[in-house]
Amino acid sequence: MRILRLFGIGFVALCALLLAGCALIGPDFDTPKSDLSSGWMDKKDNRLSKADPAGFRDWWKAFKDPVLDRLINTAYNQNLSLRAAGIRVLAGRAQLGVAIGDFYPQSQSVEGLVWDIQLPKSGLSERLPSTNRPDSSSSNGSSLWLDRLGPSVSWEVDLWGKFRRAIESADASMLAAVADYDSLLVSLTGDVATYYIKIRTLERRLDIAKTNVEAQRGNLKIAESKFLGGSSSRRDVEQAKTVLGGTQATIPKLDAQLRINKNALCVLLGIPPQNIEKLLGSGLEASKIPVPPVQVAVGVPLDLLRRRPDIRQAAYTAQSQSAQIGVTKANLYPALSISGSFAFVSSSAQGHSLSDMFAWGNNFHRFGPAIQWNILNYGQITNQVRFADAQFQALVVEYQNQVLKAQQEVEDGLIFFLKMQDAAEYLAQSTAAAKRSLELATIQYREGMADFTTVLTAEQSLLSQQDTFASTLGDVAIGLVTVYRGMGGGWQIREGHDFIPADIREAMDQRTGWGDLLKPLTVPSGPAQGTVRAPEW
- What are the residue boundaries of the structural domains of the chain, listed by start? 42-107+159-332+402-499
pLDDT of residue 126: 52
Average pLDDT over residues 482-499: 92
Minimal CA–CA distance to 197: which of 529, 521, 511, 475? 475
pLDDT at 87 over 50: yes
Which of these ranges, 17-21, 57-61, 177-181, 491-495, has the smallest mean pLDDT? 17-21
pLDDT band at 364 (very low <50, low <70, confident <90, very high): confident
pLDDT for the residue 6: 47
Query: What is the amino acid identity at position 175?
Result: L
CB 457 within 8 Å of CB 445: no
- Angular region, 64: left φ>0, alpha ψ -120 to 50, beta rest: left
pLDDT reported for residue 57 = 87
Interatomic CA distance for residues 310 and 184, integer angstroms: 9
pLDDT mean across residues, the chain: 86
3 state SS for 489-526 = CCHHHHCCCCCCCHHHHHHHHHHHCCHHHHCCCCCCCC
Tell me the pTM: 0.85
Q: Is the pLDDT of residue 117 over 60?
A: no
Percent of the chain with pLDDT over 70: 83
The one-letter amino acid code at 290 reads: P
* Banded pLDDT at 1 (limits 50, 70, 90): very low
Residue 421 above 80 pLDDT?
yes
Q: What is the pLDDT of residues 30-85, one digit of tens each?
A: 999 998 888 888 888 889 887 766 678 899 999 999 999 999 999 999 999 999 99
What is the pLDDT, as a whole number, of residue 17?
A: 47
pLDDT at 365 over 60: yes
Please report the pLDDT score of residue 248 as a whole number.
96
Cα–Cα distance, 176 to 309 (Å, whole number): 9
pLDDT value at residue 282: 72
Residue 354 CB: number of other CB atoms within 10 A? Answer: 12
Report the C-alpha gap between 145 and 114 in whole angstroms: 6
Which is the CATH superfamily of the domain at 42-107+159-332+402-499?
Answer: Outer membrane efflux proteins (OEP) (1.20.1600.10)
Residue 434 has pLDDT above 60, yes or no: yes
Q: CB atoms < 10 A from the CB of 427, how many? A: 20
Percent of the chain with pLDDT over 90: 56
Least confident of 53-62, 255-264, 280-289, 503-512: 280-289
Report whether pLDDT(2) > 70.
no
Q: What is the pLDDT of residue 464?
A: 95
Reply yes or no on whether the pLDDT at 355 is more than 80.
no
Q: Which residues of 56-95 are buried (b: 16+ CB within 10 A; e: fewer)?
A: beebbebbebebbeebbebbbeebeebbebbbbbbebbeb
